Structure 1
């Protein structure tokens, strides 16, 4: 008797570091003859030409692992898988480095300009896909985030079974993170400086702003060295709001050097790697919830005045 994989148990293999995305074909009032028609309507930000190319490249498959085509009939209340690939991506000419690895955890030193997870502009040129290709592990998942512009330490979960323990560690603020930043020096500010502000979504939507109300972000700031014009700061956030360190230093009128968002948004060419944001996730400390040991990791990158 021929061995077959039950449809419900089928997990699409990773392709070139990319894990398949799952889509539910929902029943609607609109009639669809093909899956192609459904996808073009429900994902309008993706062109018909791109969907057709994905079918032609055999990047869309059914729950049994069979490749679909643009004439495959639509069947409501079922699932399909598709792989994300971009025809053109800007190569990021900087390399990540794995600093530590055990059965559950991967610790990586991320360079500037490398987005952590696939986005609209990047798939192959992301830290997650690069690491999946390097390790062959489709279960790799970032436990926390760093901006594309920020370099430094990032933790990845290797196994779904223990991922929640590490995520909870961050949620409970049991992780101590230390950053370095280069920003203008203000002699009138007395350091160490403790800053608490309320942050909320700004305009445009991908920025943050300071608003009135109860504080929801806190950072302790020290000066490591200065040359009169610029200073190298040690930043210890006890909260993890989006862009927190960038907004906090900008609020003090010492915006981080080469920041493309604060105080003024500057739309740079994606292929311009000449002025990296001078912000580095330098160190991380925590008690590992699996092995029970205190772990400490330090980035090998350095910011210089």
Structure 2
């Protein structure tokens, strides 16, 4: 049976460990190590020349095992969904690219996406194979992403985020709490309204979710309500720390989960992406001093509107 797949443009690799006893063939190791992939799929990859050594020499189902060598292979998924939105390059220089990432598009290959990701699209668009992200943005979140093009200075851009030397501002839409909505209708709200949210976040179940837990705060967000239409609010969110799903959980903790959030407050059943209902969270502005040139960067994209 032929299995139709989409193949990653860039290979992944695995270092063959020195175990006792050693597998007889590379194929034997791959079947054991990647048990989530069926033997049929691995045999098809090996027979079609989709596994090789670093020098390009092909590995087949009979190739002897070589401990500590690297075996290269290509990630594949059964079906790859085309994300019907375009990325935009907002700034480019010799060391970095700042781009707008649309909703639903992963930054790097993940899940059911191997080539439908921001990095691969930008490599095709620019012809630069060394593009890599300096930070991450959830695939459900749209907005500005900083990527590097020069591997020799990549760590200097990455350190901006580690050392808190970069300012990120997000736009978000959420339904107001009944109390805020009533106060607005009575004419008793003066905008903007600000919240400082500090609490402790930890893993939930399933493990890709985050929840509030007891203990010393490890997360901090500054939140402002800047506009209202009917019972809908436009917020500016500024994460001081960078925990997984921090802004989504912090908005939920205020009683105002984000519009079209399929994770919070309740995890929705997994199914095909509904491109008509993007999560209303957008990385709208990025401010930092370029670590190489010393130039002050203040990059913005079009934000949300309540009109």
> Are 1:19 and 2:19 matched, yes or no?
no
How many residues were matched structurally?
A: 290
1:303: Cα distance to partner?
4.6
Residue 219 (structure 1) aligns with:
221
After superposing the two structures, state which structure 1 stretch, 237-246 or 266-275, moved more. 266-275
- 2:283 equivalent to 1:278: no
- Alignment partner of 1:150 is 2:115: no
Structure 1 runs, 4 residues or longer, greater than 3 Å off:
186-190, 300-305
Q: CA separation in 2, counterparts of 1:71 and 1:99?
A: 49
Question: Aligned residue for 2:290?
Answer: 288
SS of the equivalent of 2:77 reads coil
* Offset of residue 22 of structure 1: 2.2
For the pair 1:169 / 2:171, whether they are aligned, the reply is no
Partner of 1:197 in structure 2?
Answer: 199
Q: Equivalents in 2 of 1:195, 1:26: separation in Å? A: 46
CA drift of 1:35 comes to 0.9
After TM superposition, the structure 1 stretch with the greater mean CA deviation from structure 2, 117-126 or 183-192, is 183-192
What's the counterpart of residue 120 of structure 1? Answer: 111
Q: How does 1:169-188 map to 2 (within 5 A)?
A: 169-186=160-177, 188=179
For the aligned residue pairs, the C-alpha RMSD in angstroms reads 1.8
- 1:247-286 to 2 correspondences below 5 Å: 247-286=249-288
Shift of 1:275: 0.9
1-structure distance, mates of 2:42, 2:129: 24
SS at match of 1:164: helix
Contact 2:225–2:234 under 8 Å retained in 1 = yes
Instruction: State the shift of 1:181 in Å.
Output: 0.4
Query: What is the aligned partner in structure 1 of residue 48 from structure 2?
Result: 57
1:101 aligns with 2:92: yes
**Is the 1:111–1:152 Cα contact (8 Å) retained in structure 2?**
yes
Report if aligned partners of 2:8, 2:75 keep a CA contact under 8 Å in 1: no
Counterpart CA distance in 2 for 1:53 and 1:98 is 38
Work out the CA distance in 1 between the residues paired with 2:48 and 2:223.
52
Instruction: For 2:302 and 2:8, locate their aligned partners in 1 and report how far apart those are by CA, in whole Å.
Output: 25
Give 1:295 deviation, angstroms.
0.2
Mapped to 1, the partners of 2:134 and 2:18 lie a distance apart of 34
Question: Are the equivalent residues in 2 in contact too, given 1:181–1:303 (CA < 8 A)?
Answer: no
Q: Does 1:238 align with 2:229?
A: no
Aligned partners of 2:303 and 2:196: how far apart in 1? 26
- Show the counterpart of 1:39: 30
CA shift at 1:228, angstroms? Answer: 3.0
Q: Which residue of 1 aligns with 2:131?
A: 140
1:259 and 1:136 map into 2 onto residues whose CA distance is: 35
Q: Which moved more, 1:144-153 or 1:78-87?
A: 78-87
Compute the displacement of 1:240 (Å).
0.9
What are the ranges of 5 or more consecutive residues in structure 2 without an aligned counterpart? 1-6, 181-188
